[in-house]
Structure 1
Amino acid sequence: MGDLTFPGMLWGRVLRAAHPHALIKSIDTSKAEKVPGVVRVLTHKDVKGLNGYGIAVPDQPVLCHDKVRYMGDAVALVIAETREEAAAALDKIEVVYEPLPVVDDPERAMLPDSPLVHEGGNIHLHTHIERGDVEAGFAASAVIVENTYRLPRQMHAFLEPEQGVGVSDGNGGVTVYCGAQHPYRDQMQISRALGIKPSRIRVVASPVGGAFGGKDEITLQILLAMGALATGRPVKIVLSREESVVAGWKRHPMVIHMRTGAAADGRILAHQVRLVSDTGAYASLGGPVTNLALEGCTGVYRMENILMDGYCVYTNNGVAGAFRGFGQLQANYAMEHQMDLLAEALGMDPVAIRRVNALRGGDVNPLGHTMVENVGALSVLDAAERCDLWARRHELEAEPPSEPWKRRAVGLAVEMQGTGLGVGLPDYGAAKIDLVRGPDGRPRWRVGLSCPEIGQGNSTTYAQMAAEGLECDVGDVEVYVGDTSAGPDSGSCTASRSVYTGGNAIFHAATAMRELLRKKAPAVLGCTEEEAAQAELSEIARAAVAKGITLSADGAFIWPESKYKLQGVFGLPHIINTYIAHVALVEVDVLTGQVEVLRSFAAIDCGKVVNPQGVQGQSEGGMVMGMGYALMEDTLIQGGHTLTKNFSTYIIPTSLDAPLMETVTCESFEPTGPWGAKGVGEAVMVPIAPAIALAIRRATGALMDHAPSTSERVFTKGGVRLGG
């Protein structure tokens, strides 16, 4: 996106809030409008429709008019001939604020006397889930483990900060080029905010090298469209890294309190959870993230007695939204610690206690859904147990470390990640296939769907699937994604749904195209129906394009429904899941607390593997990202002000930190999936974090209940252990 330019293009800069929480008394743009090069200065008065956006609740202003709730709130948009002139004008905008008390602790925000971020109260969502008799389960338990886990605010850290270009068509319409994850939903939100028909808005979600959920919500799309329509010229906005950090979405920090009881044989008899999630200043997807975190708090395990409460809370701590793992990472970190602690208390092997409790096909899971789909918890657990890291863990831990003051240990964790949006939420996909004549005269198959390419390689997978369905070479398939003018709405590129949902839509479109070609074969080939029935599809396609015939076929897919729905809870349970186990070997410097991950192993059940190289890439990237969450990543906010504004203070893993990684796939066949496939993009980063933390515990004896496990925390909790 950074190199996208248009003739006559202007530059936009956004005026952000000067306080994390304040009333706006007045906005005066007169001086800014007189700055040389300035073309327009837009405020809330220029928002012609609903001055709000948000996937679940449109509670975030496009441009604030009466109140700011975090430092990234947009107050005005300056459009000028150059980026520098726009920046100079920002300093001339005069905004009078009345500061309000800052709400920076989600648990304090829940108190009755807390200052309000929103008038309706600071608790955006409270979800209560209860099955069985928890107290009876605890009474029957041989051991009870109780702990509180604190999980950090992670930054997406994508290579390309939020940016884009809005281009007016000169007739009231606009095209927005922007890194995004759901072009049609962006189109809807632009339409709602600007008061123009969706048909006048084209959204092109240009391929980018990463999003991870951070571009699922509106970033700049509405402002780009506003600027282009207000000036009649292309308008480009590029956020700096610092502005991206302050204004952009983050992973929800959570405090999770768990109390888990088990019988002497390891069976979980009772499980109680209280979860508080800090969604920041606006709702975005905080509610669904909280619900999915509760689902993740039961892990891959059978539990008949559960009592869980999840709270999604407003604060002035930036904004939190979708992030790879979507609440499951935080929950899995806590749950897998509970499993190891139960094993310790009972004198059981960590794998053994997981095997005792692992869900099997036909089981009713803790949320009441009967597991009728392919259940791979045991297959990935078995693969992890057989891998070299775990099978030889005692030998590896006893090997001489690189220095005498270092200790080595191995940790293991397991997870299942729901594919798709979950029960109760509309989840659909659509695709279009066109047969056209290529430049060389040969048939070309154009596949169009809106689910964009954000670095995970779904365009390649879509081409492979289409080639399979159309009985042609992959090289004959052209895939067009992320453009509302090039393909039907196939939903968001989130929730590990792209391959499953988009692939199913392609499957149905390819089936329709095959049927259409077979129907037209006698006329196209000039033969009898019996002869046409014996012809290969490629032969029919060649004959069709040679005669100038073009054909189109559509395919649509709607997710299967669960017979069981939680009353009043949307997005739960998930009925299609990906299963994964991670094993990590770490070396801990007990003098400094520094941790190095030496090796890691992943066993993945994502159904039938369509693109092995793609799965391996996702696995390795996910392991490194999860390693960052485990050891170093935390966006620090104090009093509503972000302290870690760039990569000099917010540390992420580099290639030098990456361990020796191994990935194996435990292939299965998902009967509802396209050619048996399921999603893989999120699960791959989840259990590596608890696996690393549990390895640190084995090495030092320290319970890493506060992530990330920085050297300071490891040293403080683990102390100096130089003896055996």
Structure 2
Amino acid sequence: MSQFRWIGKPLPRIDAKQKVTGAVRYVTDMAFPDMLWGAVLRSKYPHALIKSIDVSKAKEKSGVIDVLTYEDVPGLNAFGIITQDQPVLCQEKVRFMGDAVAYVLAEDKRTAYEALDLIEVDYEPLPVVSDMEEAIKNTTKVHKDGNVLEHVVITKGNVAEAFESCDLVVEETYYTPRQMHTFLETEGGVATIDEDGIITVFSSSQYPNRDIIQIARSLAYPEDKIHVVGHPIGGGFGGKDEITTQILLALGTLKTGRPVKTVWDREESVIAGQKRLPLKITLKTGVTKDGRLIANQCRVVADTGPYNALGSAVMKLALEHACGPYYVPNTYLEGYCVYTNNTLGSAFRGFGATQATFAIERQLDLISKKLGIDPLEIRIKNALQNNQSAGLGHLPAPSVGIADTLNQLKKHDLWVNKEEYLKTDVPYLKRAIGIACSHQGCGLGSFFPDYGSADIRLLPDGSFNVKVGCPDIGQGNATAFAQIAAEVLHTDPDNIHVEIGDSRTSPDSGSTSASRSIYTGGNAIVISGRKVKALLLAEASRALGVAPDLLQFGVNNISTKDGDRSITYKEIASNVAGRKGTIRYTSRFDWPTSELEFNEALGLPHYVFSYISEMALVEVNELTGEARVLKAVVSPDAGRIINIQGLEGQAEGGTVMGMGFALMEDVILDEGQYLTRDLSTYIIPTALDIPEMDTVPVEALESTGPFGAKGIGEAVCNPITPAVINAICDVLDINITKLPATPEMVYNLAHKKIS
């Protein structure tokens, strides 16, 4: 019997009915009386000097209220989470096709977009920087200080000496593509200003409190007069962590005094929105003849595009995950993050670990094949154990569950009876099972402030109001938070009213990103809940005239241990209100960090990690090169499972996203010009591509997490990519080093081998 009443249970999403009935009003659905529509003029070139901007004809158009340029930005004309290097509206130079040059404010959407054609911009085109290796040479500079945004080297042991002692050394270079978040709700929002000068921005955002800082900085406006509501959101995956429309919306309403709405269509989202960074990863890996990893040398080059956003952090996380969830005693990790005139790279679910996982897991399969060792066994042999140092040389939190996840795969029917699953009656259809592992650093890492806060208050009817900052971007935070609060407070989730994602009412808990929400918000709720619980106990003791140690908690009540007398939460609330008091507590939780920090690589290392293993049954058509995933088995270690239904949903969604990364998705450019512009030229998995899936979790409890939980939202999309590629390579005896593995690529590799 479970020791918990609500933790681990498949509680349905508390917002499910509203969503499936269409009752949810997303921020991009909002409209206000007298509202204007804002449209952005994007750059005509991927790299050019701006010689002049003439908006006079656009301003003369009927229905146009104003046209804003860089001259209308009252504060800092730049934004960025790490580096403020992206202009709100470009002044002297454009650095990619998505750069904003002017902002039209009109009475309706059609007029706003028609007015864009009337704006005259005189450009002087510049040479385009499109190759990341060429960017390092600084022949043409995207920014005046050069194209190398950050260069990092981290070592552990001595790889040069270690390679000399290895029985086998494998060296290979891997390439990963740009991937779009492809959320259902594109970037957008609405802003208003009231008679007191309070600007309210309703925008799909993963961190409303940080948006306030960036808006205030660009508008030269007091932070306490800016209010951001970032919930509900129609999907994020990292693509709404950085500023998208927020500053322009606030600027528009400040300039006009009227509500302003802007929503990007899909093409504008493709051109201006953030993408998963493309990486070039070169690995040199040495092992003993029995498959023991001895040394791993890694060189990563990351293309962040024209601005940093979070590109440099992605590069560093790729380095941190370049050795996989394995023990490697000697490492040399070098990374470059470079500016180009390509797409804007930033956060995307997996945040560099996804790309690194593809490289190291392909490398392990190459090694296992050369040594004749079973691919599952070589992973079990090298799996990281508690008290072993990770690739950077630091000790992760002692909740390392990777070996347990591999053992779950080993005993699963798909592996035990693999010979039956591999059978096919069609001679040109070949099947194989691919295996891969991954881990994911949770939280923001060392150096960066990483905290959460929760406010819990007893309401008059005996229920509880729980306010926490982490917005629910579709993954079910609100439901999990309700379960955690209900467990601590001895009540039902129906009696928990969760408020999230509003900068005015929800305490700052950081961004919904980095696999941190349940760990951060959950810990803050536990702290506040225990304090509120103590206050409830004290009030019950006062009312019943019984010492606290003689009382016990029931469901929504407290009673004497002999059961003779009791008092409900509603009665306690009434008693407290009669004295004009409240039962309420606001907590702060700060993340633990590793004892080892790198001043030359801020953000590294992480301390808490989630772990995951996955295997995929893949069928390949030798005649066409088409690969289909027939079955996927996912074994995640997320620590204590808060909601099993939610965990399964994450595992299934992450698997499909990783399949797209493996087989289909790529934003294609030619010298900075977009060849991919919408979903007709960007292919993502559909319902017809989804395989049979089985989730078999393990619970390596994290002592610092809420009830032992840790994050899992990102790790679930990492291992399926190399698992699928490993299966294709195995069945066709080819080596795929570049994603996506389209049918054309697979066919050509196989054909060249045959011929």
Q: TM-score range by the shorter chain?
A: over 0.9
Give the stretch that moved more between structures: 678-687 or 103-112: 103-112
Structure 1 position 544, deviation (Å)? 2.9
Gaps in structure 2 of 5+ consecutive residues: 1-26, 558-566
Q: Among 300, 310, 315, which residue is 2:335 paired with?
A: 310
Once the two structures are superposed, the pairs formed by residues 400-549 of structure 1 within 5 Å of their partners are: 400-401=424-425, 403-437=426-460, 442-523=461-542, 525=543, 527-529=545-547, 533-534=551-552, 538=557, 539=567, 541-547=569-575, 548=577
Q: 1:138 to 1:720 in 2, by over 3 A?
A: closer
Structure 1 position 94, deviation (Å)? 1.2
**1:550-583 superposed Cα distances (whole Å, 9 cap, x missing partner):** 4321111001121112342122222111111110
Matched to 1:691, the amino acid is A
Contact 1:364 1:370 in 2 (8 A): yes
Partner of 1:261: 286
- Quote the Cα distance in structure 2 between the aligned partners of 1:687 and 1:534: 46
- Quote the Cα distance in structure 1 between the aligned partners of 2:662 and 2:737: 11
Matched to 2:234, the amino acid is G
- Quote the Cα distance in structure 2 between the aligned partners of 1:34 and 1:449: 47
Q: Among 662, 665, 671, which residue is 2:697 paired with?
A: 665
Q: Report whether the alignment pairs 1:334 with 2:359.
A: yes
Structure 1 position 680, deviation (Å)? 0.9
Matched to 1:433, the amino acid is I
- Quote the Cα distance in structure 2 between the aligned partners of 1:624 and 1:701: 25
**1:677-717 superposed Cα distances (whole Å, 9 cap, x missing partner):** 11110011100000000000111111110111000110011
**1:271-292 superposed Cα distances (whole Å, 9 cap, x missing partner):** 1111111000000111110000
- Quote the Cα distance in structure 1 between the aligned partners of 2:196 and 2:92: 32
What SS does structure 1 have at the residue aligned with 2:499? strand
Once the two structures are superposed, the pairs formed by residues 163-242 of structure 1 within 5 Å of their partners are: 163-242=188-267
**1:380-411 superposed Cα distances (whole Å, 9 cap, x missing partner):** 011111112222223322x124x321111110
Partner of 1:647: 679
Contact 1:466 1:507 in 2 (8 A): yes
Q: Among 400, 403, 407, which residue is 1:382 paired with?
A: 407
Contact 1:252 1:279 in 2 (8 A): yes
Once the two structures are superposed, the pairs formed by residues 334-353 of structure 1 within 5 Å of their partners are: 334-353=359-378
% identical equivalent positions: 48
Partner of 1:590: 622
Contact 1:138 1:144 in 2 (8 A): yes
Aligned pairs, number: 715
Contact 1:302 1:365 in 2 (8 A): yes
- Quote the Cα distance in structure 1 between the aligned partners of 2:515 and 2:448: 15
- Quote the Cα distance in structure 2 between the aligned partners of 1:109 and 1:371: 35
Q: Among 661, 684, 703, which residue is 2:716 paired with?
A: 684
Structure 1 position 720, deviation (Å)? 8.2
Contact 2:322 2:391 in 1 (8 A): no
What SS does structure 1 have at the residue aligned with 2:51? strand
Structure 1 position 594, deviation (Å)? 0.7
Structure 1 position 485, deviation (Å)? 1.2
Matched to 1:75, the amino acid is V
**1:290-343 superposed Cα distances (whole Å, 9 cap, x missing partner):** 000001111011111111111101000020000000000110000001111111
Q: Report whether the alignment pairs 1:93 with 2:119.
A: yes
Give the stretch that moved more between structures: 250-259 or 352-361: 352-361
Contact 2:193 2:253 in 1 (8 A): yes
Structure 1 position 173, deviation (Å)? 1.8
Contact 1:593 1:713 in 2 (8 A): yes
Matched to 1:505, the amino acid is A
- Quote the Cα distance in structure 2 between the aligned partners of 1:44 and 1:637: 28
Structure 1 position 164, deviation (Å)? 0.3
**1:644-703 superposed Cα distances (whole Å, 9 cap, x missing partner):** 111111000000000011111112321100011111100111000000000001111111
What SS does structure 2 have at the residue aligned with 1:665? coil
Once the two structures are superposed, the pairs formed by residues 350-369 of structure 1 within 5 Å of their partners are: 350-369=375-394
What SS does structure 1 have at the residue aligned with 2:696? strand
Structure 1 position 262, deviation (Å)? 0.5
Matched to 1:544, the amino acid is I
Contact 1:20 1:640 in 2 (8 A): yes
Structure 1 position 208, deviation (Å)? 1.9
Structure 1 position 215, deviation (Å)? 0.4
Contact 2:537 2:548 in 1 (8 A): no
What SS does structure 1 have at the residue aligned with 2:350? coil
What SS does structure 2 have at the residue aligned with 1:517? helix
**1:51-96 superposed Cα distances (whole Å, 9 cap, x missing partner):** 1111111100011111100000011111111001111111111111
Matched to 2:447, the amino acid is G
Matched to 2:492, the amino acid is D
| TM-score computed with the length of structure 1 as normaliser | 0.97
Structure 1 position 534, deviation (Å)? 4.7
Give the stretch that moved more between structures: 668-677 or 369-378: 369-378
Partner of 1:321: 346
- Quote the Cα distance in structure 1 between the aligned partners of 2:397 and 2:347: 28
What SS does structure 1 have at the residue aligned with 2:660? helix
Q: 1:668 to 1:305 in 2, by over 3 A?
A: closer
Matched to 2:572, the amino acid is A
- Quote the Cα distance in structure 2 between the aligned partners of 1:273 and 1:412: 22
- Quote the Cα distance in structure 1 between the aligned partners of 2:370 and 2:430: 23
Matched to 2:86, the amino acid is Q
Structure 1 position 498, deviation (Å)? 0.3
Partner of 2:104: 78
- Quote the Cα distance in structure 1 between the aligned partners of 2:330 and 2:541: 63
Give the stretch that moved more between structures: 345-354 or 388-397: 388-397
Give the stretch that moved more between structures: 315-324 or 667-676: 667-676
Partner of 1:249: 274
- Quote the Cα distance in structure 2 between the aligned partners of 1:396 and 1:73: 51
Contact 1:373 1:575 in 2 (8 A): no
What SS does structure 1 have at the residue aligned with 2:640? coil
| TM-score computed with the length of structure 2 as normaliser | 0.93
Structure 1 position 531, deviation (Å)? 8.8
Contact 2:75 2:217 in 1 (8 A): yes
Q: RMSD of the TM alignment (CA)?
A: 1.5
What SS does structure 1 have at the residue aligned with 2:731? helix
Q: 1:504 to 1:93 in 2, by over 3 A?
A: same
Structure 1 position 424, deviation (Å)? 2.0
Matched to 1:666, the amino acid is V
Q: Report whether the alignment pairs 1:16 with 2:42.
A: yes
- Quote the Cα distance in structure 1 between the aligned partners of 2:163 and 2:697: 37
Partner of 1:140: 165
- Quote the Cα distance in structure 2 between the aligned partners of 1:339 and 1:199: 53
- Quote the Cα distance in structure 1 between the aligned partners of 2:606 and 2:548: 46
Contact 1:332 1:687 in 2 (8 A): yes
**1:214-246 superposed Cα distances (whole Å, 9 cap, x missing partner):** 000000010111111111111000111000000
Matched to 1:144, the amino acid is V
**1:503-562 superposed Cα distances (whole Å, 9 cap, x missing partner):** 001111111111222333344x26344598456563352113334354321111001121
What SS does structure 2 have at the residue aligned with 1:170? coil
Q: Among 576, 590, 606, which residue is 2:638 paired with?
A: 606
Matched to 1:465, the amino acid is I
Matched to 2:430, the amino acid is R
Contact 1:521 1:532 in 2 (8 A): no
Matched to 1:54, the amino acid is G
Contact 2:445 2:603 in 1 (8 A): yes
